[in-house]
Amino acid sequence: MSSIRSSSLLAIALATALGVSACAEIGEPNLGERVSATSSTVVPDANEDDEAETEVVSADVSSVFSPPRPDGYVPGVLASLGTTLVLVEGESITDLGERFPGAPIERVVDDFLGGIVAQLEGDIVQWLPAGGAAPTPVSANNGRLLDAGFIDDTLAVQVFVEVPDGIDRIKLVDGEREAFTRLEEGASVVAFSSSNGIQAVAIGDNACGSLAFFNTSGQRVDLGGPADPECPVPRRPQFGAVAMSPGGEVVAYTEVTYREDGLPASSVLTVLELESGSVLFNGPVGSPGEQIESLSYDGRRVTFLRTGETGREVGLVTVADQVETIIPGLAGVQDVGFARLPLLLAEPVEPGDEPEPEPTAEEN
């Protein structure tokens, strides 16, 4: 465990040393920026009787900080291609190698401190800290990786995992695990995003689902956002993907329409500023019949997987230009997301280049 703590402290020191950004991007956090709201209301729960009400607490998360971006940093797109990882920066694709040798990577997120967290085939979640430490087990056969986020201003990173009745969170530094929130019977997590103490959850249920926001205590908070759908056809989630901005004040999400056979017909992407209600982007993404997954938002751009009959492609929308493009050269992609801070990974060890073991006392 001492090696894990050392790696965490190294990652924190490296991230802090990167400096504070100019915060020119929408939703880009500065160290010490806080997200707070004053609303504290009681709203009906779509899954309860009309008389039943669920308390929605204040969205005050003033104790939560976001780590800084270095000046001029443009987040690259981190993608898993089978057992390998790549980082796309502009037109350049950097091969990061097999960081979890031989294991197909189904989902990958950065840990904000230069390392990465990955879900491997077979519901295995592992953490690769910055600075060259070996992968560390996080969870085995007990949850699907959703995202990484912060508990408080200590920069203690936690990962969120989906379990059958809701969401758990696990501290990376010591593996402590606890329930984050529990969903009502029949509900499930469709998509999840964590940023600056706010967790956005697209929920599927017996109706048409909802888009909800939670604080670090797992309580539902009122941040505005889209209203619950009218639900013309039950059991088809209207909200298909979600991503918070780095500062937690802007949300990107897709709304899905369905064909008569229940398959997706089209997806519309909306980028919404929560406090003002201003719509920064609203338009169709992907091609008809494609499913939009793995949404990620860096404050200027949205990236996602487009899954259709011909396979998967990586889409990229620049919000200011209102333009969608395809990132080429990512055949076999399984998951994508922005590297929210620079990755600080050691060079991968090539097969056959492993260091010779130190001789034992008996051999000497």
pLDDT mean across residues, the chain = 81
Q: In angstroms, rounded to a whole number, what is the distance separating the alpha carbons of residues 308 and 291? A: 6
Q: How does pLDDT run across 337-354, given as a tens digit for each residue?
A: 999 999 999 876 555 555
The better pLDDT of the pair 232, 92 is held by 92
Quick check: 136 and 127 in contact, CB under 8 A? yes
Number of C-beta neighbours around residue 163 at 10 A = 16
pLDDT of residue 235: 72
Number of C-beta neighbours around residue 146 at 10 A = 24
Fold that domain 2-338 belongs to in CATH: Neuraminidase (2.120.10)
- Per-residue burial over 24-38, b if 16 or more Cβ lie within 10 Å, else e, is ebbbbbbbebbbebe
SS3 call for 345: coil
The better pLDDT of the pair 63, 258 is held by 258
Q: In angstroms, rounded to a whole number, what is the distance separating the alpha carbons of residues 122 and 105? A: 10
The better pLDDT of the pair 288, 304 is held by 304
pLDDT of residue 353: 54
DSSP per-residue letters across 85-153: EEEEETTEEEEEE-SSTT--EEEEEE-SSS-EEEEETTTEEEEE-TTSPPPEEEEESS-EEEEEEESST
User: Domain-by-domain residue ranges, the chain?
Assistant: 2-338
Mean pLDDT of 173-194: 94
Mean pLDDT of 201-215: 92
Q: Is the pTM of this model over 0.85?
A: no
